[in-house]
A and B are shown apart, each in its own frame.
Chain A
């Protein structure tokens, strides 16, 4: 290392934050960054094939590790290509630091080559963003960016750095120890009065239900959540991002609720007299029509973000605080209780309204997932894309641990799966990872197959090939008179794709081969593209039609 530059300071800061891997793509304004990179052997840069892949990979890394994911792109198109991944992280409260190069400071505003106002673009989709004027500010900015990204309700932070600042010489690197953010508040626990109110509401409830969301996982409150549910004998349903926070094999777990949630989970919420929302933002996909949502229930809403309380659903009792801290406070005084009648009622619904699948001689996604779950004993890390297969995976791959179901929940970004699985692989190098994808989703970021090859990664890729953009086709079937406009999709020959990329390929065409195909994929070393030719016109049920309430959950066709 000869002279220290702004680029070195960025890299030193990354190391100081414990970053070991980042995902990026070079370009004109970030050449100085890559030039300095050679001096940092402990930091690994993963070259993606499209900047969107970098943002999704950082997102997947963060989801699987709980650490801050880092991505980097050049100015202009490189930066705009990150945008979907940043928005995805923002919607799902994923800690991420996205760094973009910018044109030279003296050229900003001149519509220079590859100049774009990326700060203006990321402003509404980041927790915060920074423009760095002077390399001497970098340590403070980096320290704050990581701090903001991971503390309180996590989210993405974007840092825009002009190329001259990367090149600017500085005397020394001193990482900031102090945070100076007078406006950044991180709630901890709540007050005793609120705790008493929560406990009284639980005491007086005959039909309580817990809706557990992503917040329970982010604050690592799995143990407390379990203790709460068990001690007070409260049934637990979860949002898609809350999957695994409470073990799904537990007798009090009633699966996912919402638009494609279990009917019994939806009925439990609809008939409850007390709903305890824990780290959920009561998204429209879980509430259905707000007019009829949990009308007979008093709602306790526990969340770290005060702005979420009352945003969609008006709670009877708002509780602002870190979920783990709040649950601990509650557990200190919570007495034991039983709700046998209520749990029995829900049990009845599980028998009357079980998950049902299409009766067909072909492979269906649920059939494949049921086999996968059996063979992997429900222990694989699962990454999905977006659409029908995503909902089916949430339904048919129950999990007992958190941070093992990686999916784009809030933004619903197709193309998420493959790059997110790459990120997850770096976070969890030794665990089994299955990517469940559709023929649409895989083609949206298929270029990242080469990133897998260049990095020598092992991911089991299952493509559920039905020749349709399935979820939209389902809506067209149900609500648009089967007008399948824009949804039939053709695919390349995936065996040739696999061959071209130097990957293994397996094709499964009949249900009797599902298990052997999965087993063969597991036995192969390296990445396998495992193609399942599935029933083309299958629908995800249960379903709450748009605008309807949870009580109107459709059970099946």
Chain B
């Protein structure tokens, strides 16, 4: 079961290392991870997506909560949150290509290459990639999921 864990921590060096080291020790594979500052000074928010059983996910949340810098940690339910991911996609440019890919933004254009940005739910990003493949998609970079509860 894929789930996203949202945690609020003190913004101190090494917190990301502590969290990922813990996940490695307990043998979790990280699907995606995003991190950044919050409106509160000296606080960071991490969104970690893992794919594991419900039981193990519940256990790792309690383990993460033991980390001294972690102030709050919750599992985010999909239906009670906004989940969003950013995609950067590089194409060999073709005329009229962007018309076939709605909701994306052109970020860079050269003679033969174009880079676009797309923001959506993880499923929408998957779909966007599928639709892009026949259109000369060369390379992608996904940001990983970030999330806010409703």
Assess the B66–A124 pair: CB atoms within 8 A.
no
The CA of A127 and the CA of B62, in the complex, are separated in Å by 14
Contact residues of A between 105 and 144, Cβ < 8 Å to B: 119-120, 123-124, 127-128, 131
Instruction: Spell out A's residues near B (CB within 8 Å).
Output: 119-120, 123-124, 127-128, 131, 148, 181-185, 305-307, 309-311
The CA of A305 and the CA of B66, in the complex, are separated in Å by 8
The CA of A309 and the CA of B65, in the complex, are separated in Å by 13
The CA of A311 and the CA of B26, in the complex, are separated in Å by 12
The CA of A183 and the CA of B7, in the complex, are separated in Å by 11
Assess the A307–B68 pair: CB atoms within 8 A.
no
Q: Could you show 22 A-B contacts with beta carbons less than 8 Å apart?
A: A123-B17, A123-B21, A124-B21, A124-B22, A127-B68, A131-B13, A131-B14, A148-B68, A183-B10, A183-B67, A183-B68, A183-B69, A183-B70, A183-B71, A305-B66, A306-B62, A306-B65, A307-B59, A307-B62, A309-B62, A310-B58, A311-B59
Q: Which of B17, B18, B63 contacts A307 (CB 8 A)?
A: B63
Q: How far is the CB of A264 from chain B (nearest CB, A)?
A: 33
**Other 6 A-B pairs with CB < 8 A, given A184-B68, A306-B62:** A119-B14, A131-B14, A181-B68, A306-B65, A307-B59, A310-B59
Query: Which residue on chain B has the smallest CB distance to residue A120?
Result: B17
Q: How far is the CB of A148 from chain B (nearest CB, A)?
A: 6
CB within 8 Å: A-B pair count: 38
Contact residues of B between 64 and 88, Cβ < 8 Å to A: 65-72
Contacts of B25 in A (CB 8 A): 124
Q: Chain B, 40-71, contact with A by CB distance < 8 Å: what is the 0/1 string?
A: 00000000000000000011001101111111
Q: How far is the CB of B73 from chain A (nearest CB, A)?
A: 9
Instruction: Spell out B's residues near A (CB within 8 Å).
Output: 9-10, 13-14, 17-18, 21-22, 25, 58-59, 62-63, 65-72
The CA of A309 and the CA of B63, in the complex, are separated in Å by 11
Query: Which residue on chain B has the smallest CB distance to residue A119?
Result: B14
The CA of A309 and the CA of B66, in the complex, are separated in Å by 13
Contacts of B13 in A (CB 8 A): 131
The CA of A306 and the CA of B64, in the complex, are separated in Å by 11
Query: Which residue on chain B has the smallest CB distance to residue A148?
Result: B68
Assess the A123–B18 pair: CB atoms within 8 A.
yes
Q: How far is the CB of B43 from chain A (nearest CB, A)?
A: 9
Q: How far is the CB of A145 from chain B (nearest CB, A)?
A: 10
The CA of A307 and the CA of B17, in the complex, are separated in Å by 20
The CA of A110 and the CA of B69, in the complex, are separated in Å by 28
Q: How far is the CB of B104 from chain A (nearest CB, A)?
A: 39
Assess the A182–B10 pair: CB atoms within 8 A.
yes
Contacts of B63 in A (CB 8 A): 307
The CA of A305 and the CA of B63, in the complex, are separated in Å by 10
Contacts of A183 in B (CB 8 A): 9-10, 67-72
Contacts of A184 in B (CB 8 A): 68
The CA of A128 and the CA of B22, in the complex, are separated in Å by 13
The CA of A182 and the CA of B25, in the complex, are separated in Å by 25
The CA of A372 and the CA of B69, in the complex, are separated in Å by 48
Q: How far is the CB of A445 from chain B (nearest CB, A)?
A: 28
Q: How far is the CB of B63 from chain A (nearest CB, A)?
A: 5
The CA of A127 and the CA of B69, in the complex, are separated in Å by 11
The CA of A307 and the CA of B68, in the complex, are separated in Å by 14
Contacts of A185 in B (CB 8 A): 65
The CA of A120 and the CA of B25, in the complex, are separated in Å by 13
Contacts of B14 in A (CB 8 A): 119, 131
Q: Which of B18, B66, B71 contacts A182 (CB 8 A)?
A: B71
Top 9 A-B residue pairs of the complex, sorted by shortest distance between their CB atoms: A307-B62, A183-B71, A128-B68, A183-B70, A182-B71, A307-B63, A306-B62, A183-B69, A307-B66
The CA of A119 and the CA of B13, in the complex, are separated in Å by 12
Contacts of A124 in B (CB 8 A): 21-22, 25
Query: Which residue on chain B has the smallest CB distance to residue A180?
Result: B10
Query: Which residue on chain B has the smallest CB distance to residue A129?
Result: B14
Contacts of A131 in B (CB 8 A): 13-14
Contacts of B69 in A (CB 8 A): 183
Which of B58, B68, B72 has the most chain A CB atoms inside 10 A of its CB?
B68
The CA of A187 and the CA of B58, in the complex, are separated in Å by 19
Which of A128, A183, A310 has the most chain B CB atoms inside 10 A of its CB?
A183
The CA of A183 and the CA of B70, in the complex, are separated in Å by 5
The CA of A184 and the CA of B71, in the complex, are separated in Å by 7
Contacts of B70 in A (CB 8 A): 183
Contacts of B18 in A (CB 8 A): 123
Contacts of A148 in B (CB 8 A): 68
Query: Which residue on chain B has the smallest CB distance to residue A133?
Result: B13
Q: How far is the CB of A472 from chain B (nearest CB, A)?
A: 27
Contacts of A310 in B (CB 8 A): 58-59
The CA of A120 and the CA of B21, in the complex, are separated in Å by 10
